[in-house]
Amino acid sequence: MKLTALLVNQLERISRNSFYVQKMRKAGIDLSSIKTLEDFENIPFTSTSELLAELKKKPSESALYREDITRINFSPSGKDLYPVYHTGHDLEIMHRVCAASLEAAGVKKGDICAVTFGYHLFIAGLFYQGQLEYYGAKVIPLGPGESERAVQIINDYQVSILVSNPTFAMKLAQMGIPSVKILFVGGEPFTSVEGYPEMVKKAMGGEITIIDSYSMALCMPVARSCKYGTGLHIMDDFVHAEIIDPGTCRVLPHGENGELVLTHLHKEAVPLLRYRTGDLTRMEKKSCPCGRELTLPRSVFGRTDEMLKVKGVKFWPSQVSGIIRSFSGLSNKYRVIVSTRGGVDHLQLMVEGSDPSGTTVDELAQRLKRDTLLAFNDIRITAKLEDGPSVIDERKGRGF
């Protein structure tokens, strides 16, 4: 299959980027010879480690820095921060693509919107403010915290669009914000947590549209849901998305679980080329009335860097977090212990919670088996779980 015009143009743009010039030279790849998707899949992946190694250099020494950068945001990496660069063109494209998704969400020009994400250094607050203003909405940059003042402003100005993490939105809803009709959520697992969207919707009064998004500092946006609630649609006019088997690196067909790989289609500053996100998801192709097709039905449900092989099955322990979040009597503090008994893998789960009933344990066991394909040998709910790693693999003597 031939490459799209957007992908061809981006490869030509990337071929002039000194970071990728060096990378392709080492791999013996000539980007001008890439004509089909089969060719494209021979391009080496880009890892987070090699990007961060270059980004953390001083601008004068970094192959990813350029003179036409107009904004520098930051994102955490351990105890450090790394820069996220944007040119004016990058911001324009980002706002344009997001504007189309705002329309699909039901936002109207002239709506008054309140953004409760942070504006200091990081991109989230400015990301939403920029796209909403570009679209033609009015924005109040509330920022995080100060719930009483936030509620007063939302009610005084009849804010109809709220941008917030789900937990803070529910806190505001308890104090009364009846004018809000559309809620954009982020900053917490949402669609991937079974029952959570319904719980938030109920807390917000029921008659509300909730829009979930998936993005990362190096690529905003990636996917966003719409008012029809059919899943998170890949912004395929902004990124080219692939799903690969994280073990074999083979590109997987639609409908299979794997690692999300992204390539920018317009980005000038720090363009991503077959970037391994490390996020586990499933991509499906299905038509939606909003016009999008490629969809992440459950957003992201795990990380590849924690994969364990248990009982012959690939297991990502972070899936457990999303599962237990959907049980109201359980906290998000848990410990998975993998050991060997009689030469056979043994899988134990301990969860901090207030409901140790057999019913909850049975329901939890069923959900775990359905979503991870593994039968846990022992599940215990305890009132207090001692601090420590979330995962202990006694077979290898390590925890994380």
pLDDT tens-digit series, residues 157-202: 999 999 999 999 999 999 999 999 999 999 888 888 888 899 999 9
Confirm whether 53 is domain-assigned. no
Alpha-carbon Rg for the chain in angstroms: 22
Per residue in 192-244, pLDDT tens?
A: 888 889 999 999 988 899 999 999 999 999 999 999 999 999 999 999 999 99
The residue whose two tokens read 């009335």 is 289
How far is the C-alpha of 361 from the C-alpha of 314, rounded, in Å?
23
pTM to 2 decimals? Answer: 0.85
List the one residue out of 334, 313, 312, 314 whose CA is nearest residue 322: 334
Confirm whether 105 is domain-assigned. yes
Q: Taking a C-beta distance cutoff of 8 angstroms, is the pair 134, 96 a contact?
A: yes
Is residue 362 classed as helix, strand or coil in its secondary structure?
helix
One domain for residues 132 and 242: yes
How far is the C-alpha of 144 from the C-alpha of 142, rounded, in Å?
7
Q: How many CB atoms lie within 10 A of CB 32?
A: 10
Phi/psi at 378 (5° precision)? -150, 125
One domain for residues 195 and 331: no
pLDDT at 187: 86
Where is the domain boundary, 304, 321, 337? 304
What's 32's DSSP letter?
G
Per residue in 15-56, pLDDT tens?
A: 999 999 999 999 999 999 999 999 999 999 999 999 999 999
What's 127's DSSP letter?
H
The residue whose two tokens read 């029809």 is 228
One domain for residues 172 and 321: no
Domain that includes residue 5, residue range: 1-44
Q: Report DSSP letters for 81-109, one per residue.
A: EEEEEEEHHHHHHHHHHHHHHHHHHT--T
Domain of 177: which CATH number? 3.40.50.12780
Domain of 319: which CATH number? 3.30.300.30
What's 248's DSSP letter?
T
* Six token digits for residue 95: 């706002």
Where is the domain boundary, 254, 282, 304? 304
One domain for residues 276 and 317: no
Is residue 74 classed as helix, strand or coil in its secondary structure?
strand
CA angle (25, 28, 30) in 5-degree steps: 80
In the chain, the largest separation of any two C-alpha atoms, in whole Å, equals: 67
Among left, alpha and beta (phi > 0; psi -120 to 50; other), residue 287 is beta
Where is the domain boundary, 250, 270, 304? 304
Q: Taking a C-beta distance cutoff of 8 angstroms, is the pair 299, 325 a contact?
A: no
Confirm whether 145 is domain-assigned. yes
One domain for residues 39 and 108: no
Total structural domains in the chain?
A: 3
Per residue in 270-324, pLDDT tens?
A: 999 999 999 999 999 999 999 999 999 989 888 887 778 898 888 888 888 888 8
Confirm whether 49 is domain-assigned. no
One domain for residues 184 and 275: yes
Average pLDDT, the chain: 93
Write the burial class of residue 41 (CB in 10 Å: 0-12 exposed, 13-18 middle, 19+ buried): middle
The single-letter code of the amino acid at 255 is G
Helix axis angle for 166-175 and 147-156, nearest 10°, is: 70
